[in-house]
Structure 1
Amino acid sequence: MQRIANLLAIQDGKVLLLQKPRRGWYVAPGGKMESGESIYEAAVREFKEETNVTPSNVQLKAVYTIIIKEDDAVVDEWMLFTFVARGVEGTPFDETREGKLEWHTIEDLDKLPMAEGDRTNLLFAALKEGIQYGTFEYTKDFKLLSSRIQTS
């Protein structure tokens, strides 16, 4: 099972998002964990690599299981660990091989193109207290089939 860590940076009422070239969808910067890394180390490393900035006040906000199905059969599954940072140091890249980086208002999370599970995840990370847990089931084209969410 793949392990993915991402990080949503919030500064001055805005969030730093990465627009991926394939679908044009927005995501929090992140990526695959390396062998031996903690989820924290992976989130911070991936964020720095993709943005060129250092996150401040990093905290875990969510843990999800992501399931991809085809005709009721599971074809892929991974764990997603989402962190939030309350500030960054440095100037972000404009664009990398991963996509374009842009600051958006938190309210934009409601309308920007993204996977529906990501929308749920990022809105919680930006606006709510506690930690969220859940499972998102998608088709191979990332149409949301179901979700189960718990919050502590």
Structure 2
Amino acid sequence: MSRIDHFENPDAPKPNSIVAAVSVFVQDGQGRVLLIERTDNHLWALPGGAQEFGEYIAEAAVRETREETGVEVEVTGIVGIYTNPSHVVEYSDGEVRQQFSVCLRARYVSGQPAPSDESSEVRWLAPGELSDLTIHPSMRLRIDHGLEDRQQPYIG
């Protein structure tokens, strides 16, 4: 299924769903950030996805990171909560989802980056390499907040 991210677009379709989702900010021992190139929109992003029934949000973070990257992590904190109603995601099946994402901070435990059905590429990237990538503004905000190592989580 393909997707189109609409951001601050007055012509964007109106949302018809909202789903609790998680993204995961994790760095390795060299300070590099784990990112994926998504297969559905070909943008670079933090690993993450929708929370499933019967699952804690931290469990969703660990599961999504493992599924998309092959890397095992342990959740250590929260970067922020991202709920901008001007960011909607239009899916090819007709769903138009308003953003609702909790970005969690995690610690690398084990594993080597490997692509999946949801990620065409997985890499540890130094902060200085991020400007060379195509990253949606809402995802870049999460990455920047993670790099800032804020004392309080972002709520917006």
8 Å contact 1:65–1:79 — kept in the other structure? yes
Q: CA deviation at 1:76?
A: 3.1
Residues 127-146 of structure 1 aligned to structure 2 (within 5 Å): 127-130=148-151, 131-134=153-156
Does structure 1 residue 4 correspond to structure 2 residue 21? yes
1:39 pairs with one of 57, 60, 64: 57
Q: CA deviation at 1:128?
A: 2.5
Q: Deviations over 1:29-82 (max 9, x none)?
A: 11110012221111111111111221145321111114346xxxxx53131011
1:24/1:63 Cα in 2 relative to 1: closer, same or farther (>3 Å)? same
In structure 2, C-alpha distance between the alignment counterparts of 1:87 and 1:55, rounded to whole Å: 5
Give the letter for the 1:108 counterpart. E
Does structure 1 residue 81 correspond to structure 2 residue 106? no
2:81 pairs with one of 63, 71, 74: 63
Q: CA deviation at 1:18?
A: 0.4
- Which deviates the most, 5-14 or 59-68? 59-68
Percent identical: 27
1:36/1:126 Cα in 2 relative to 1: closer, same or farther (>3 Å)? same
Give the letter for the 2:117 counterpart. R
In structure 2, C-alpha distance between the alignment counterparts of 1:76 and 1:87, rounded to whole Å: 30
Q: CA deviation at 1:111?
A: 4.3
8 Å contact 1:9–1:88 — kept in the other structure? no
Unaligned ranges ≥5, structure 2: 1-17, 89-95
Does structure 1 residue 13 correspond to structure 2 residue 31? yes
Aligned residues: 128
Q: Which runs of 4+ in 1 moved over 6 A?
A: none
> When you count strand as a share of all residues, which structure comes out higher?
1
Unaligned ranges ≥5, structure 1: 70-74, 135-152
2:117 pairs with one of 91, 97, 104: 97
Q: CA deviation at 1:97?
A: 1.1
1:107/1:86 Cα in 2 relative to 1: closer, same or farther (>3 Å)? farther
In structure 1, C-alpha distance between the alignment counterparts of 2:51 and 2:35, rounded to whole Å: 19
Match of 1:125? 146
In structure 2, C-alpha distance between the alignment counterparts of 1:52 and 1:30, rounded to whole Å: 13
Does structure 1 residue 113 correspond to structure 2 residue 138? no
In structure 2, C-alpha distance between the alignment counterparts of 1:57 and 1:38, rounded to whole Å: 11
How well do the aligned residues superpose, as a CA RMSD in angstroms? 1.9
